[in-house]
Amino acid sequence: MPPARSAPLHSSLAALPLPRSRLAPRTPPHSPRGGRRGNPPSSPFPSPFPFPAEPLPRARLPPPLRAPCGARGCSAGAAFQYLLVQKTGAQKNVGLIQLNRPQALNALCEGLMAELRRALEAMESDPEVGAIVLTGSQKAFAAGADIKEMQNKTFQECYSSGFLAGWDKVSVVRKPIIAAVNGYALGGGCELAMMCDIIYAGEKAQFGQPEILLGTIPGAGGTQRLTRAVGKSLAMEMVLTGDRISAKEAKEAGLVSKVFPVEKLLDAAIACAEKIASNSKLVTAMAKESVNAAFETTLTEGNRTEKRLFYATFATSDRKEGMTAFVEKRKANFTDS
């Protein structure tokens, strides 16, 4: 059954100042067209966010559940304040997490990130979940970290508490995570998307690292992951100017793998997650570990990691079943063992 339609999430204005847009003048801020420079058109709203005047298309989110998916499936406990969490897909093998802080365009406050870690831990331990989709609203995936929370922090507080260190939980989850990005993915929002394994973007999405405009720099991997994704020149330009790039530019630069119409983005991300979840979860985790090694080691060491994990698959029942099914010309029945 396709996901049911639901009304778009309406957000109020946020205090985070946004950088100037890289899109051409007089082009709506969510448009995939336009040049690489220029300022957004003036907005009737008293905010630095350039909202479009026309209504946004309706979202296609499945009916949300507010409970985490535990080892025995979704239960009724531990409701979230800033997230909508459920299992979806035809086989209910895809975990869906929607950031739900519309009043601040999904600004990543400490409470939201703590809930995200808890939801990911629950899905990691759920044997039915084979892949995870992380999304936001159609106006914003996440417009950045919560500036009001951090504006009065001192160096001593940041250093002694390991400020933002907990965000790395997203990048160490063994199950594949797909970021479905509509609207703004700025600052911490862009960093959060880059922590995921695959990024699908709606055609009106915008990506950026505008921390320089606030007198600071990215602190959750922005300078590192962005450079590895798009190369030094574009990463340096984005980080030093605070300029944003469109979904189309992000696709051309290699930051995202596919771009979809806004209303089809979530369905496409869930379909990809279902395809991943149909494979052996054990071998999928090995494949993810091997690909990630390419970004964190030398070529020689990465090849050693690949060989070690490749050999390890021969100790699994799923490797034997997969090859036997291929020879017998039938569909493999993986048992995640």
- Which residues are part of the catalytic machinery? 145, 188, 191, 211
Q: Which residues sit opposite 180 in a β-bridge?
A: 135, 200
Contact residues for 225 (Cβ-Cβ < 8 A; gap 6+): 191, 194, 195
Phi, psi (deg, nearest 5) at residue 81: -90, -35
DSSP assignment of 194-221 equals: HHSSEEEEETT-EEE-GGGGGTS---SS
Query: Which three-class secondary structure state does DSSP give residue 266?
Result: helix
Whether the Cβ atoms of residue 199 and residue 257 lie closer than 8 Å to each other: yes
Strands 206-208 and 69-70, sheet pairing? unpaired
Cβ-based burial of 136 (10 A; exposed 0-12, middle 13-18, buried ≥19):
buried
Cβ-based burial of 299 (10 A; exposed 0-12, middle 13-18, buried ≥19):
exposed
| Distance (Å, whole) CA 254 – CA 248 | 10
Strands 73-74 and 177-181, sheet pairing? unpaired
CA–CA–CA angle 92, 98, 104 (5° rounding): 170
Count of other CB atoms within 10 angstroms of residue 194: 24
Strands 258-260 and 206-208, sheet pairing? unpaired
